[in-house]
Structure 1
């Protein structure tokens, strides 16, 4: 069976190997025509090496997650396209595919009961099941990414009653019915991705995080429902905790982007649930928290470093396309995004090799200009 999978990825490879699964070894070993591996998945990785001419090697898996993130919310990608991506990922031993299904510009997965939300081009429920199954064939887990409470402009056009005052794309997180609506939609997402252990719930760019004063309803709600000294940022954290708890009820782990949490320019009265994992992508604003804030608060972290790991269609927001030379010369999986230039300490952010809270790194495809 493993040899057949490798044949699909490397059609000219025809050498047979003796395969032995040994739980007492950590990774895998190749000795000419003999492969010993801790698991079937690692034996598959060993065969990938063998198919590329490796005759003798001993490997251990250091990072748990080696992933690719695809922004399908803004731009439609076909099932066939995802199949090709999955095969490419398998050849490189990547093991996570995060699919971003919703954005301000679109919603591209036909979920039962929410078909009316979909853009003209969208994957069917069965399409996504097929993608998940095909990825599983190559030991790749598919993770759903559904952004909330920001990046909801497309959805809020159909549900304007749930829109935050003074915003086109933000959810009114003070409205219990709005929260229930998102939970219902998330429930359908999680039913579709039932085998995924993780759900990315977004959390980024809800509003400009240094401008809560322009959203007075958040402040009013905070003082009424949370604490007399609470502020709008506490309502935001409370919402993320609420949605995170809902996700955990499905025995899944919630993840969020880093830019709105533990801000240096805000004092919070609500603590972010430490079980929520952090995908750290940027520190472009001086108020954004450094990496060590999340480590200190016991969050698991993943490296989505925008400077070297973002492929942004149209090269929007100042991004230039990454290339082989840039990646090889500048990227290190243990180096996170630089701190803002106004920081009074070193700008570089690193995490120790084998740090128990560091799960891995992702390359992201963002479709800011979907016509590209």
Structure 2
């Protein structure tokens, strides 16, 4: 190809030359790129421009040629049978015929695996040349993301520009988390969400399954804790299959030892009692072995339902740790800590031990990528959370919370859930205004883990990525459709910054217009 490489610094560049090329070609009597006698790419066509997608591609080599768009005789073919699912999905979306493992011809889209096609399992190369498209990557995930780029390129009659794209994400964790415990969401809505996340190249969907207000998933081991309005296991299996086909890992969370009100409702004997008879809502007595047994039963049951290595332990807002003097406020916990861990142990040590025990249960179930909320990690003491547990850092408003740099200095891996930018709380309770895509796009980066200031760049590799979280504290404040509309541009802004954290070249207004066009 004749051309030059354009490296994109994190945004989407306006493209129009490919459409002009198609118009010039058509006016000279040509057909679309699906024609069996595709024209040769020559300098009679303008030099192409990078594709217009969200997230933007990171590197593009332009070329002279008409580009490609789906035609009536076009097919999707694969060079490896392991790409059959990706091929069938793309064929259905672009109204092409899926031809399976066979040679490509003009007008086709060819998917293949190639070890040198990218820098990681989620990278890919997309080449438009000689009236056909070839997408290849070192793994299925990268090829899938290449198909998402192509799908956006030809959206609403568009044309995939001639040339080559080499692309891949900067961050391995690109997540969205949904609180279905406080507000049940329908299975159909969740499935549409998965499709949207896949098209945007997200790779995680976190589900907050239980809280004080509800327990929203069928259970065989403890059916007594399940709320009336819940997802059946069959519905979950369909959701898992849909997510897997789009290379999205579902990250379940059974939050503990706080936020367990639904479990306590069925087992009041697990309720924690402190000095003066206080009984904080949703708070189990971690000195009671029965509490650990019930949570472990649930973890083991759902480890069989949700495949993969990822899990969220919770661990946030355990009420005793929010007390100025946990040992005085909860003397029974203080005594239990000393019995188990020695005379210097305190309530925070007993809490850390609880989370380590739950982690051990998950580890035996082959869950190796486990995270917990940052306020579940004690700053000092005789017991520390297992080094393998990732830090889900969310809160920066409380002055006594640990700084993210503390965790990074310890060598821990951190996932950014910064509540300043990435928390969408229904009803805007607790002084949390709804986050905007504009603010994420302009003022946030993956290194802005707490508040508005970034952590030092030397920790970039330890910050694995970020997750946008919807919390349903006021469940009736918005309908499902209103939630979908409210998170639409924040999701797009976030994935842009995770795919390429560099300064986006598009203005916010240009980016928003692109998001609206691609959503038509």
TM-score by length of 1: 0.91
Structure 1 residues 10 and 307: alpha-carbon distance in aligned structure 2, compared to 1, 3 A threshold = farther
Separation (CA, whole Å) in 1 of partners of 2:97 and 2:171: 28
Among residues 223, 237, 242, which one is paired with 1:134 in the alignment?
A: 242
Structure 1 residues 114 and 292: alpha-carbon distance in aligned structure 2, compared to 1, 3 A threshold = same
Contact 1:150 1:207 (8 Å CA) reproduced: yes
**What's 2:407 paired with?**
294
Give 1:348 shift: 2.3
Give 1:24 shift: 2.1
**What's 2:135 paired with?**
35
Among residues 453, 471, 478, which one is paired with 1:366 in the alignment?
A: 471
Separation (CA, whole Å) in 1 of partners of 2:415 and 2:96: 36
Larger Rg: 2
Q: Please give the per-residue CA displacement for 1:83-136, whole angstroms capped at 9, x wherever unaligned.
A: 100110011001111111101100000111322211121000111111101111
SS of 2:253's partner is: strand
Aligned Cα root-mean-square deviation (Å): 2.1
Among residues 257, 273, 276, which one is paired with 1:149 in the alignment?
A: 257
Separation (CA, whole Å) in 2 of partners of 1:12 and 1:312: 41
**What's 1:172 paired with?**
285
**What's 2:149 paired with?**
49
SS of 1:43's partner is: helix
Among residues 223, 229, 239, which one is paired with 1:115 in the alignment?
A: 223
The reply to whether residue 255 of structure 1 matches residue 347 of structure 2 is no
SS of 2:375's partner is: coil
**What's 1:203 paired with?**
315
Structure 1 residues 353 and 298: alpha-carbon distance in aligned structure 2, compared to 1, 3 A threshold = closer
Contact 2:396 2:450 (8 Å CA) reproduced: yes
The reply to whether residue 75 of structure 1 matches residue 183 of structure 2 is yes
Contact 1:313 1:370 (8 Å CA) reproduced: yes
**What's 1:344 paired with?**
none
Farther off after superposition, 76-85 or 17-26 = 17-26
Give 1:161 shift: 0.8
The reply to whether residue 332 of structure 1 matches residue 428 of structure 2 is no
SS of 1:121's partner is: coil
Structure 1 residues 318 and 6: alpha-carbon distance in aligned structure 2, compared to 1, 3 A threshold = farther
Contact 2:422 2:469 (8 Å CA) reproduced: yes
Separation (CA, whole Å) in 2 of partners of 1:20 and 1:12: 17
Structure 1 residues 210 and 369: alpha-carbon distance in aligned structure 2, compared to 1, 3 A threshold = closer
Structure 1 residues 93 and 10: alpha-carbon distance in aligned structure 2, compared to 1, 3 A threshold = farther
Separation (CA, whole Å) in 2 of partners of 1:43 and 1:147: 35
Q: Please give the per-residue CA displacement for 1:232-275, whole angstroms capped at 9, x wherever unaligned.
A: 11111111111111111111032110013233xxx412122101
Separation (CA, whole Å) in 2 of partners of 1:268 and 1:8: 57
Q: Please give the per-residue CA displacement for 1:316-352, whole angstroms capped at 9, x wherever unaligned.
A: 11111122212212221221112xxxxxxxx724253
Structure 1 residues 348 and 52: alpha-carbon distance in aligned structure 2, compared to 1, 3 A threshold = same
Structure 1 residues 35 and 353: alpha-carbon distance in aligned structure 2, compared to 1, 3 A threshold = farther
The reply to whether residue 5 of structure 1 matches residue 5 of structure 2 is no
Contact 1:262 1:288 (8 Å CA) reproduced: no
SS of 1:97's partner is: strand
Where does the alignment leave 5 or more consecutive residues of structure 2 unmatched? 1-83, 99-106, 154-159, 478-520
Structure 1 residues 40 and 229: alpha-carbon distance in aligned structure 2, compared to 1, 3 A threshold = closer
Farther off after superposition, 324-333 or 126-135 = 324-333
The reply to whether residue 22 of structure 1 matches residue 114 of structure 2 is yes
Contact 1:259 1:283 (8 Å CA) reproduced: no
Give 1:354 shift: 7.9
Separation (CA, whole Å) in 2 of partners of 1:9 and 1:174: 54
**What's 1:187 paired with?**
300
Structure 1 residues 9 and 284: alpha-carbon distance in aligned structure 2, compared to 1, 3 A threshold = farther
Farther off after superposition, 138-147 or 327-336 = 327-336
Separation (CA, whole Å) in 2 of partners of 1:283 and 1:251: 32
Separation (CA, whole Å) in 2 of partners of 1:13 and 1:283: 52
Give 1:52 shift: 2.0
Separation (CA, whole Å) in 2 of partners of 1:149 and 1:313: 24
The reply to whether residue 90 of structure 1 matches residue 198 of structure 2 is yes
**What's 1:341 paired with?**
none
Separation (CA, whole Å) in 1 of partners of 2:315 and 2:335: 21
Where does the alignment leave 5 or more consecutive residues of structure 1 unmatched? 339-346
**Post-superposition, which runs of at least 4 consecutive aligned residues in structure 1 deviate over 3 A?**
7-16, 351-356
